[in-house]
Chains A and B, each alone.
Chain A
Amino acid sequence: EAGVAQSPRYKIIEKRQSVAFWCNPISGHATLYWYQQILGQGPKLLIQFQNNGVVDDSQLPKDRFSAERLKGVDSTLKIQPAKLEDSAVYLCASSTAGNEAFFGQGTRLTVV
């Protein structure tokens, strides 16, 4: 069974530029999560989708971050404009309802 796919694996941008990350969840997983993990910390939830609806985006900095999950399958997360403090690993995960989540390899973002 194919796992969660994410791209790109690495991205370096200058502050104030924009960037987008892509995620394709495991087939059949209705729930999709985007987490931000800063070095030395646990993953912090940015947004959770159930099919193409948002379940929780309370910690998403909506002035600069946006996410969508068209057609309830793959998803994109965008940052515009990026700040230095956005440097982190962005992890996408998916699950079936109420079960454990499976993670992609993540996108390592460096903002300079």
Chain B
Amino acid sequence: RKEVEQDPGPFNVPEGATVAFNCTYSNSASQSFFWYRQDCRKEPKLLMSVYSSGNEDGRFTAQLNRASQYISLLIRDSKLSDSATYLCVVRYSTLTFGKGTMLLVSP
């Protein structure tokens, strides 16, 4: 079983749609969780941290379920500029990245 698994994608959605990404992790002792965004041919950049109580940043909502070892990211009212690859990241002793899920938002 891979340490961090994400939906394979790509997700093709129209502008204004709501889209959800799922991620599971194998190490129950993992301590911190993040979503990163990576644009084509660019470096990954932190989108948001994920807290046990869930957290929201504008159109983005992240949730963590430690019992199920599951993390999610919800994007509401998708914009063209949201097109990117979304990487699920889990920290135990180091930062482990998922393979990423590509999102394509079309007009």
Interface residues of A (CB under 8 A from B): 33, 35, 41-45, 48, 55-56, 91, 93, 95, 98-106
A50 to chain B minimum Cβ distance, whole angstroms, is 10
A100's partner among B49, B93, B97 (CB-CB below 8 A) is: B49
Interface of B is mostly: strand
Contact indicator B93/A55 (Cβ below 8 Å): yes
Chain A interface helix/strand/loop/mixed: strand
Q: Which of A56, A100, A104 contacts B34 (CB 8 A)?
A: A100
Identify A103's interface contact among B4, B44, B96, CB under 8 A: B44
**B45 engages A98 (CB within 8 Å):** no
- Which size bracket describes the interface of B in this complex? 20 to 34
Please pick, from B87, B94, B98, the residue contacting A56 in the complex, using a CB distance under 8 A.
B94
Chain A residues with CB below 8 A from B91, complex form: 98
